[in-house]
Structure 1
Amino acid sequence: MIPVQLILKNFLSYRDATLDFRGLHTACICGSNGAGKSSLLEAITWAIWGESRAGVEDDVIHSGAKEVRVDFTFQNNQQIYRVIRTRPRGGTGVLEFQVETPSGFRALTGKGVRATQDVILEHIKLDYETFINSAYLRQGRADEFMLKRPNERKEILAELLKLNQYDELEERAKESSRQFKAKVEELERSLESSKTQLQQRSATQAQQAELEVELNQLQQIQAFDNIQLQSLQVVQHQRQNSTEQLSFVRQQYQNLSSDCDRLQQEQSAIKSQLSDLQTILSQETQIKAGYAQYQTLQSQEESFSAKSAEYTQRIQQRQQLQQQLTKQVNEIERQLQQAIAQLEVLQQQEREIQHTLTNKSEVEAALAQLTKARNRVAHLDQLQMQVSPLLQQQATLQSQLDRFGATLIARLEQLHAVENQLQRTSRRQPQLQQAVMDVKTQIEELEKKRVYLQRVQEKGQERRHFIERLQAQQREYERVLGELNQKLQMLQNPNALCPLCERPLDEHHWNRVADKTKAEYKDTEDQLWVFREQMAFSDREIQVLRQEYREISQKLASYDALREQRGQLAAQLQSTSDAETQLQQIAAEKQHLERSLEVGDYAPEKQLELQQLNEYLQQLNYNEQDHALARSEVERWRWAEIKLQQIKDATKRSSQIAARKPQIEAQIAELQSKIQLIQTNSESAKQIAALDRHIAEINYSSEQHNNIRTSVRKAQSWELRYQQLLSAQQQYPQLQVRFQDLEASRHARMSEKQTIERQLESIVAQLEQTANPTAQIETLQQQIAARRRELDEKIGQLGRLEQVAHHLEMLQTQFLQQQQELQEAKRQQRVYQELTQAFGKNGIQALMIENVLPQLEAETNQLLSRLSANQLHVQFVTQKAGRSSKAKKNAKLIDTLDILIADARGTRAYETYSGGEAFRINFAIRLALAKLLAQRAGAALQLLIIDEGFGTQDAEGCDRLIAAINAIASDFACILTVTHMPHLKEAFQARIEVNKTKLGSQLHLSM
């Protein structure tokens, strides 16, 4: 990924800024602390991955702004891409991803921020964690890898390689292994239980066979009894048929007897009817004469009915006219009654007014009582206004006294609790003293170890100083050896000159100079070997001191905790020693509180104030009951005011009545004369008189009409008798024929009755000859029922045994299946156990590290050779022999990650190298790690960002950093170095200067 352009709007300290990376190869981002240098790098990470140092997403928005936007254009795999990320304050962000085409940028944005982020990662093949561990060299992290212990280096490398996913797989494999182990244990328990149940299979089969034999025997006996029962039931059925036939024949006999009796009765009835009809026929002449007289009376009645209809019509007309006349009179009479009622009301009001006026003196006396009662209430109201705040103050004082008493009670309870706690604390004093002595002994032992640790540290410093002196002497002897070696090489020339005076040497002088130089070379070499031996011995001694220092430091780890514990125990012991004094003080305070609560002499000022207030209230002598009685007295005499108003109203009303009364009397006289006129001279009265004359002309007598009606009703019986005569003349011949038919039917029924009677005698004789098998049937049925119950019980037992047998068969099948499942579960458990080992630290992770380390070592040495002119070489060692008291061949190999560094003088420890050499080693290893991580992510490392170099560097360190950057500049398309040191930025021609202003951070690019 090669940056092309960065546009910022309201991002962190920037308001509006644009940075064009085109033409930049190695550049320095410089500025004072807090100017916004690192914010440029965070803008890149926020645009691509949405990651920044902000804890809250809205914190990346510039203070006071509503929205942030970052446009980042970069090149990747010969293709130009642009990422635009925006976010409104308090809202949801928007992410756009575009690729450059000949016609402009084309969108690659997915559906949503997450989908677009996945598209970006797919194209750049680099996630955030890989970027900050590869292309981004953070401050103070360059030598972190070298300064860690060997086992910690492997952990760091595993973390950088993202091998923690194998830890998750290991945990999942462990969990699956545990699950299959639990399943194996469960299947084994289930198989053991099934095996125990299957052992009962043979006993169950034997019981089943025995029950089947018993069932066959019972079923044979039951079949024989059923046959015998069926034969008896046939006999019983035949007897029942005979009994039913007997009942049927008896019913026929009874029916025939009933028919004979019915025919006999019907003959008697017809005979009686013939006699009645003969009587009616004998009165034929008398009946016809009476019927003729009835017809004559009926004609007269019809004539009177016509007169009655006309008479009734005229009467109804007269009633209607009379009703109209009465209505008019009633209307006037109603008005008359209203006027009379008004007059009576006025007279009644006159009497009431007179009665009201007669009570005037009594009302005036009541008004005097009302005034007196109101004055009494006004006095009590004033007294109440004076007493109310005093009563409220009294209640407040009493509440305060109650609260003070409750406070004393709570304090007394608190003192009881503290007293109990102090007593328990006092009893713990011997234990605390012993604990203090034990902790003190441990601290004294550790303090001795601290003194010894200080001596070990001083000895180690002394050894290091000694090694430094040896190293200085070693470098001096190495320089002398180099000079002597140069002299020897010069002496190899046949025309060699003297190394000192530069004169030509003859053979004798040449031999002397050569021997002397060789002797000096040998002495110097021997002395150098002694120094190296001393250094090796000192290194081993320092290693022993370091090991001893670590062991003592581990033992001293609990020193601070023990001192803190000693302080706590001492404080507790001091508190126990003060417990007795506190108990005495608490006892005295308890006694004082109990006496105060008993006597009630607490809060004397409040009690005195309450007493004075009570006395003053007694002097005021206000009583709420008297106040209420006074109010009721006012209410009792309030009627006088009402009566006084009534008297005033009555006087006014009396004058009004005197004016109204003559008008009503005149109206009454006028209405009375009007009624008399309507009753004599109105049109309705005249019509009524005409109708009265016409009614007299009709001459209708209701009495004569009623007599005729009575005669008609009396003669009406002849009409019925005449009808009976006609019916008798018609029925008499028919009844004679019916009487003869009944006589013939009765004789036939009598003959049939005799036949049925003979049949009854035959059936009864047959039943008497046949025995009744009911008792035998009941006995057999009871036996069959009892045997059926026994059969049901046996069948139930057999069913249960068959169910058990079926269950055992299924259990056998399940047993075989569970055996297969057990084998499969054991196999799966072994598989996951092997996967656990494979995913563990010593499995795939170790294998991947072993595979990565040669590549890392090769890349590091390639970079280191360019940085050190092929003078330094690094080797990574992953295993070494552990300490063992036995022979070396039996020593156990342990995992490690040692880094061996070699130069022209041999292999040495990292600590023995100078600052410049150590810097180049650190830089090469860190850069090799960065390239390795980028390659594993599938991306080429084209961008390198160095934040503040490798810690705080002096002038020489800055020169080394610049030299290192220049040495590897050809491997990268863009290198950015972030710094605030002025002497470092001067080394770069391209500088991106960042300044903090009131308008936000500003950028200035100088080439």
Structure 2
Amino acid sequence: MIPEELHLRNFLSHRESDLDLRGVHVASLVGDNGAGKSALLDGITWAVWGRARTPYGHDDELVHHGETAAEVEFVFRMPYQGGEEQRFRILRRREQQTRRAVISVLDFQIQSETGWRSLNGNSVRETQSRIVEHLGLDYDTFINSAYLRQGHADEFTVQTPADRKRVLGVILGLDQWERYAERAKQALAVVQVQEKELARRLSEIEKELARRAEYQATLSQAEAEAQEAALHVHQAQEELNALTRVQEQVIALKRQIEETQRRKDEELARLTELQRQRSDHQERRETYQRLLEQAPAIESRLREYQTALDEERTWSEKLGQAARLQEKKSQAEKAIAREAEALRERIRVLEREATRKEQALTALRASLEQDIREKQGQIRSYQDRLPTAEFLGILEDLEGQLEFTAQVAQELEHARTDLQKSQLTRTGLAERNRQLKTLMEETKERLDALAQAEATCPLCRQALTPTHQTKLLQQLQAEGSAMAEEHRRNTQLIRDSQAQEAALERQMREHDQTLRTRTRLEQQITRMQQQLEQAEEARNRIGAIEGEIAACQARLEAGDYGEAEREALKQVQGEIAGIETQLQADDYGREARAALEKVLAALAELGYDATAHDALKARVRTLASAESDYRELEKARVGVQGEEEALKRLALECAAQEQRRAQLELDQSAQQAAIEALLPQLETLPQIQQSVQAARNKEVSARQMVGAARQQLAALDTQERRRTQLQEQQTALLRRSAVLKELRDAFGVNGIPAMIIEHALPLFELEANRLLEQLSGGRMHVRFDTQRETKSGSIRETLDILISDEKGSRPYENYSGGEQFRVNFAIRVALARLLAQRAGMRPRALFVDEGFGSLDADGRQRLVEAVKAVQDDFDLILVITHIEELRDAFPVRIQVSKTETGSFVELL
């Protein structure tokens, strides 16, 4: 089981908390005492098994104070039906509808491709059984192995030997041996039925074996007939083999003729190809010779083309210059036109500006009049916000009520602190009483043992002298009395704490009722104070607005507005008149006009003639092929010699090809003559083949008779072996019957289960000591004994834990709290690994809840190193601590904090 997500709703101190553990390997779960750290693991165990730290069946205490329902949703991964890992989800909810009516909901689901699919049974109890069945792990085994619960790290260590064996037996899967006993009984009944069937089959086999002599005579006669037929087959086959060899020679000669014909065809095709190549080379040679005869004319035409091309380039350059001058001319003319249009556009802009200035003057007067009306309206609005005497009286009364709730909140916080301290003290006292009860029982056993006449030392197992026996008895009686007195004092203190806690809870409920009005009072007072501040602001604003109204009225009466607009209007009208005069006199575009005159003069000086240029371009196009003709001429001068050499080579190859073809004709004639000489020998082949087939048929028939006779005898041999096998099976069944009876007894608690524990303990002990040596620096060692000698001298099955250090062996209780925690941690990690090995996989998760406080600095460091040393063996390790120096000792930190509204979780 690998936890992935945990969602708590009104569970213990968590009103609403969500924890996503996907991607987390090793993390510390940190927070102050009472912040709600252990409640997260309680949420996991309650969701999966319906069990938490509260007494079994007291789930009402899990619901957040003041709420009626608690809910936990837990998502985890694990293998499903022996296949790949899949995600599972468990949702457990408890709702208290009335004092006696409680609704419990348990939902078990598996994630599929289409979503979450239900695995529920017909009831909550059946669904819970399915969850345990899928996990292969119950609650007690979990808290004794993979979960070091707060205050219960010694859950396994302090149990009685019998309970330790039970936990170890569950982890090792020993409960299956009861099922094996029942299966042994069923198997015994089956064996008895099989014995009857074997006796019947043995009787039938004996009858069949009595016919062996009859089958042997039939075989001898069939073998003689088969031998004679085989001789006839051999003689006929010799004749057939001779003719077959002649036939194979004929076939080989025919293949040779076909191969020769194929080669003749290939040689003819090669000769045809050579003749084609020869013709191609002759044509190319004649073409090259014709070009060489035209060489003077081609070279003259090339020179004429190059002269025309040079003249055309000169005219093209003039054309480019003329085009550029025409472009400049067009640009100058456009520039003159643009400047004229710009002046006309400026007049239009100025006219629109003049109109806007006139409109602005009119709007300014209207705006001042509107401002006066709006400010008068604002004064009326602010006057409505001024406070009344009744309003001020209500505010004073509410402030008094709020001051009283602050005193109640302080008293509530003190009560909560006192309640937590009392609960912690009571839990410690209860745990101490459980330990005292166990110790007193063990002390009583030791007193009973010492009271015997021949008592032995519990440490060295040596006989005690009467003096030593008396001294030990007195010492144990004193220890027992001291523990009983401490147990009585603790019991009285527990009763006192319970009474004090009840009184504190009543006080807290009363204060909670009072404090529910605090938020309402604070909100109401805040709103009224805001209204006072708004009223003061309104009073100040009224005076300012009245001054603004007087100033606006004075400006209207004096006409003191729009001076800038009036001055701007005069300037705009003057600029319009100046531009109109400039347009009428053509007094614009002086640079563009000068550039236009220069361009016109340059065009006249260039003297470009477009007609003459077009005629020259036509001449160049006519002579354009002169270059390609010249390249072909150069190619002919080089290629004519190569064609002469190729024609000579092809003539030699054609002659050689004709010679090879004539030789193949001769070879083919010789092969045909050889075939005609061999054919007369093959005329008798059909008659010989028929003789061989007839002889073979006779031989096959005779051998079939031999095979049938041998098969009958072989069947008798098989039956004899079968008889032997059945007799052996009969003997084996008798032995199996006896074995099944022994197995039925061996599957008891003192049989194979005890052997399994004996076999598993060395590995368990080795793993625990490996980690314990690391935690203690090699000082401490733990050993498990499975047998103990009773008072009567017999051997009793047990599971004792023996701890030793450099001072020797001592009882678990005589070690310090830090040493005890090291032992507990090492044993619990070994149990977690043993649990995982039973399922054939490595451990998945380990939860360590507190325990660091009992260690010194060196011990805490060793424990951190031990956790890191085993981190690769687990998919998830959560270490819960409130010690500051350990909060950042691991890669991921999960912070749990608590406020007045409840606990919340942050993943850092």
User: Which TM-score band applies after superposition, normalised by the shorter structure?
Assistant: 0.3 to 0.5
Which of the pair has more CA radius of gyration?
1
TM-score between both structures, scaled by the size of structure 2 = 0.34
Q: Compare the two structures and name the one with the higher helix fraction.
A: 1
